[in-house]
Amino acid sequence: MNQLKKYFSSRKISIIAVAIVLLWFKTYIAYKTSFDIKIENWKQEFILFINPLSFLLFFLGIGLFFKEKNRNRYIMITSFIVSFVLFANVVFYRFFNDFLTIPVLFQTSNMSDLGGSVHELLEPTDILFFADLFVLYALMKWKPSFIVNRDYTKVSRRAFFLVAIAIAFFNLGLAETERPQLLTRTFDREMLVKNIGTYNYHIYDAFLQSKSSAQRALADGSELADIENYIRANYKKPNDELFGIAKGKNLIFISMESTQNFVINQKVNGQEITPFLNKFIKESYYFDNFYHQTGQGKTSDSEFLVENSLYPLSRGAVFFTHSQNEYKALPEILNEHGYFTASLHANNRSFWNRDIMYKSLGYQKFYDMDYYDVNDENSVNWGLKDKEFFEQSIAHLKEMKAMNKPFYAKFITLTNHFPFILDEEDRSIDEYNSNSKTLNRYFPTVRYTDEAIEQFINRLKEEGLYEDSVIVIMGDHYGISENHNEAMAQYLGKEITPFESVQLQRVPLIIHVPGQKGQTIHTVSGQIDVKPTLLHLLGIDNKNNIEFGADIFSKEKMDFAVLRDGSFITKDYVYTRDICYDKATGQPTDDKACGPFMEKAKQELEYSDKIIYGDLLRFYYNDKSNQVKK
């Protein structure tokens, strides 16, 4: 026994090795417990297991160049940084079901308004993400005799980094055999994390960020030729019968925060979730196969899609990253046709960088929170309650009406926002009963917004604005992420497969045109189609603009919608996570069925990205003197 004790007491360990092993296993445990990463075979599991190692060897291996005291300090600081990056991704993933990108980190003007949401996402066990730091500190402080305290030779350092390089190439080689052309799939962050690891993914993300920053400086007008040819070749003739049926009418657009289509015509606890919208769609055009196409920019991406008929970026929010670009947006076009254009949102004007971006889009006025009476009594969760917001907005609409010209007024609601908090006196229906507090609270806040819109529509009638206005009501993005699939399965009574997850990305689109009868349109469409559809109804020719959407009423319109993650939906199929599903059965089918649409989906996303990153529209519209921005 004494000999055994003596043997172990003579064994010393490297603090760098301990830090690497602790971070490695902590990361793998986080993969399995905090992220929903789909594993299909033993090779994918092995890649997931080894993918943090090369980064950790490189990053912590720098400590080999330091003396003992500085080495220990470096290891502690580095371990904390790496742990914090992992933890930040976990918290972000809990709501967005996505991984952080550098553009998201630069959205600092949003941070002050995120306090309540972030707090809701934190859990008591999160302290375990930093448990390895306590172990390292304990070894350094109380068991220094167990730690190797020597300088490392050039030979040992070279050997160490050669091993790190070998593991990195081994990892990348395995990943490429499992997923060819992996690094071209920048829109699929789960695929990147699964194969190259969270930390290497962030390094690659930094490379992409620097690359995208250089694209504008190096861009020229010749890059537009292929894009313009593609758009002209895929142009779909709008529905002539509906051209100009709303000419000269006001356009009132209501963006419903986090409202998904699964609540329409449905009940919870025996009560209707959206009783008003259920009635309103009967006297309006209702699109039941309409999808949100947002990325990390959420509501701002929804605005970008509607205003420009361009796709948002796969990383960050266009409102932040490219707010100074040249656009030919819906507000600017309406300005040119005699409209007054305004956005109304009772929030901080700098949130999502709206104060800057709205100028680029052509809005003439932004009614932000300074134009509203906002106090503790009339606010909840993220700010002014929707009923108060709409009621106070009537005065602003009267101002617009007094101008004696048609107006475009966009309203962005707030109450139905994660974490879906609502005062007891504002709750008309009870919460749902599941293991998800988020889903349980979602139904009462959706109902509250439904009631707020009903009151608003009634006020429009009282003020004589209803019959002179086209009223558009649209959900902006999902409210319930895939992290709540178990609770969603309980509510819907079916398993939430990847196919069902895509179907849950449908959001309501309701267009009420005075004098038109109600009709449900089943065409597969998305937010990118809203701009050309509305301009056609208003009698404005939109043929010569660079955009990817089409008039949804068009008899030539293809049943097709591309989501920002590369998934797409057609009349008969859904393609997501590299699997083609038959919509009739919800089951996987031969990939050949989705084959004809794969290149189209990829091409549209890539072309749209090129336009934004290169600010290419500055070349297109500046060459057309009658369309140059003043």
The answer to which of 149-153, 249-253, 280-284, 386-390 has the lowest mean pLDDT is 149-153
- Spatial CA neighbour of 241 closest among 536, 540, 491, 481: 536
Residue 251 to residues 327, 343, 456, 509, Cα–Cα distance (Å): 20, 12, 15, 15
119, pLDDT greater than 70:
no
What's the mean pLDDT when you consider all of the chain? 89
**What does the pLDDT read at residue 571?**
96
**What does the pLDDT read at residue 589?**
96
**What does the pLDDT read at residue 206?**
82
For residue 204, the surrounding DSSP H or E stretch is helix 198-218
> Can you count the helices (H) and strands (E) in the chain?
24, 19
With cut-offs at 50, 70 and 90, classify the pLDDT of residue 8: very low
Q: What is the dihedral of CA 457, 254, 352, 36, to 10 degrees?
A: 120
Please name the amino acid found at residue 308. Answer: N
Q: What is the pLDDT of residues 289-314, one digit of tens each?
A: 999 999 989 999 999 999 999 999 98
**What does the pLDDT read at residue 38?**
80
Integer Cα distance of 447 and 427 in angstroms:
8
Structure token digits, residue 218: 């190096």
Structure token digits, residue 400: 């617009």
Of 208 and 441, the structure prediction assigns the larger pLDDT to: 441
Integer Cα distance of 539 and 526 in angstroms:
21
With cut-offs at 50, 70 and 90, classify the pLDDT of residue 5: very low
User: Are 99 and 92 spatial neighbours (Cβ–Cβ below 8 Å)?
Assistant: yes
User: Are 573 and 593 spatial neighbours (Cβ–Cβ below 8 Å)?
Assistant: yes
Q: What are phi and psi of 309, to 5 degrees?
A: 55, 35
Structure token digits, residue 203: 């390094």
% of residues, the chain, pLDDT over 90: 67
Give me Rg for the CA atoms of the chain.
Answer: 27
Domain 241-557: which CATH number of 3.40.720.10, 3.40.50.620, 3.30.559.10, 3.50.50.60: 3.40.720.10
**What does the pLDDT read at residue 157?**
87
Of 504 and 97, the structure prediction assigns the larger pLDDT to: 504
Q: Catalytic residue among 294, 299, 341, 523, which?
A: 299
Q: How far apart are the first and last CA of the chain?
A: 88
181, pLDDT greater than 80:
no
109, pLDDT greater than 60:
no
Of 221 and 9, the structure prediction assigns the larger pLDDT to: 221
Integer Cα distance of 579 and 38 in angstroms:
13
550, pLDDT greater than 90:
yes
DSSP assigned state of 430 = P
**What does the pLDDT read at residue 179?**
76
Integer Cα distance of 9 and 3 in angstroms:
10
With cut-offs at 50, 70 and 90, classify the pLDDT of residue 91: confident
For residue 198, the surrounding DSSP H or E stretch is helix 198-218
The answer to which of 96-110, 319-333, 349-363, 554-568 has the lowest mean pLDDT is 96-110
Whether 299 sits among the annotated catalytic residues: the reply is yes
Structure token digits, residue 124: 């008591």
Structure token digits, residue 178: 């499992």
**What does the pLDDT read at residue 367?**
97
625, pLDDT greater than 80:
no
The whole-number average pLDDT for the span 617-621 is 89
**What does the pLDDT read at residue 421?**
92
Q: What are phi and psi of 419, to 5 degrees?
A: -90, 25
With cut-offs at 50, 70 and 90, classify the pLDDT of residue 7: very low
Integer Cα distance of 482 and 92 in angstroms:
13
Helices 437-462, 386-401: crossing angle, 10 deg rounding? 30
Q: What is the pLDDT of residues 350-386, one digit of tens each?
A: 888 899 899 999 999 999 999 999 998 999 988 899 9
CA angle 439, 564, 323 (to 5 degrees): 105
* 3-state SS string for 466-524: CCCEEEEEEECCCCCCHHHHHHHHHHHCCCCCHHHHHHCCECCEEEECCCCCCEEECCC
Please name the amino acid found at residue 427. Answer: R
**What does the pLDDT read at residue 175?**
86
Pairing of the two strands 290-291 and 525-526: parallel
The whole-number average pLDDT for the span 260-277 is 97
Q: What is the pLDDT of residues 195-252, one digit of tens each?
A: 888 898 888 888 877 776 777 778 888 889 999 999 999 999 999 999 999 999 999 9
594, pLDDT greater than 70:
yes
CA angle 169, 175, 179 (to 5 degrees): 145
> Which alpha helices (DSSP H) does 341-385 contain, by range?
354-361
**What does the pLDDT read at residue 10?**
46
Please name the amino acid found at residue 459. Answer: R
565, pLDDT greater than 60:
yes
Give rounded-to-5 percent helix, strand, coil for the chain: 55, 10, 35
3-class DSSP state of 162:
helix
Task: Kindly report the number of other CB atoms within 10 A of residue 177's CB atom.
Answer: 11
The whole-number average pLDDT for the span 446-455 is 98
- Spatial CA neighbour of 98 closest among 109, 83, 113, 88: 88
**What does the pLDDT read at residue 150?**
67
Integer Cα distance of 470 and 322 in angstroms:
30
Q: What is the pLDDT of residues 400-412, one digit of tens each?
A: 999 999 999 999 9
User: Are 287 and 506 spatial neighbours (Cβ–Cβ below 8 Å)?
Assistant: no
DSSP assigned state of 250 = E
**What does the pLDDT read at residue 141?**
78
**What does the pLDDT read at residue 17?**
87
Q: What are phi and psi of 293, to 5 degrees?
A: -130, 30
115, pLDDT greater than 70:
no
Tell me how far apart the 2 most distant CA atoms of the chain are, in Å: 98
Sheet strands side by side (includes 560-562) = 560-562, 568-570, 573-576, 579-582, 587-588
**What does the pLDDT read at residue 151?**
73
**Domain ranges for the chain:** 2-216, 241-557
Q: Which residues contact 533 (CB under 8 A, 6 or more apart)?
A: 511, 549, 551, 552, 553
% of residues, the chain, pLDDT over 70: 91
